Amino acid sequence: MSLTLILMRHAKSSWSALDLADHDRALNARGTRSAQAMGDWLRAQGHVPDQILTSTARRTVDTCAGLQFQITPDEVPALYHAAPETMLSVLQGATGSTVLMLGHNPGIAEFAARLVHKAPDHARFHDYPTCATLVARFDRAKGWRDVGFGSGEAVDFQIPRNLTD
């Protein structure tokens, strides 16, 4: 069984309501367009999750909704501003064969870089802009518990600006 991780940073959020807590910020119009474009791109590439793990922050939940996959996400409080070690621990408890994980920077950029044995050839991989998406495979893993840093192969990497501009 081949395991696939779709690792996505939330789409662009709004800063218009300065009285809102960080956790409660919604997507702005660009973020909504980006989430839809990334969902379309993932489907076109054949990267369709059977499990979604998302931070509980509104912007990650809204990003997930904008992707328009017909699965109910598992909202995981530990993914809110998680460190790479926490993200790996959450992933190791996954049950799907193609898992979409939605989170935040700076943790998600570091997690992506540490997870694959060779970074994809893309100028924006290391700064992981909003809605950036890595697709990584773990062909040697029998289950998610076998996945560790450096064990993934980068299959695809995309940012919404390449799809919407």
Environment class of residue 57 by beta-carbon count within 10 Å: exposed (0-12), middle (13-18) or buried (19+)? Answer: buried
All domains in the chain, ordered by first residue? 3-164 (3.40.50.1240)
pLDDT at 1 over 70: no
**pLDDT tens across 27-58, in order?**
888 989 999 999 999 999 999 999 999 999 99
**pLDDT tens across 121-161, in order?**
999 999 999 999 999 999 999 999 999 999 999 999 999 99
Amino acid at 70: Q
pLDDT of residue 18: 72
Chain-centre distance of CA 126, in angstroms?
14
- Candidates 61, 46, 69, 40; CA nearest to 162 is 40
- C-beta separation of 74 from 19 below 8 A: no
- Candidates 160, 161, 158, 164; CA nearest to 45 is 158
What pTM was computed for the model? 0.95
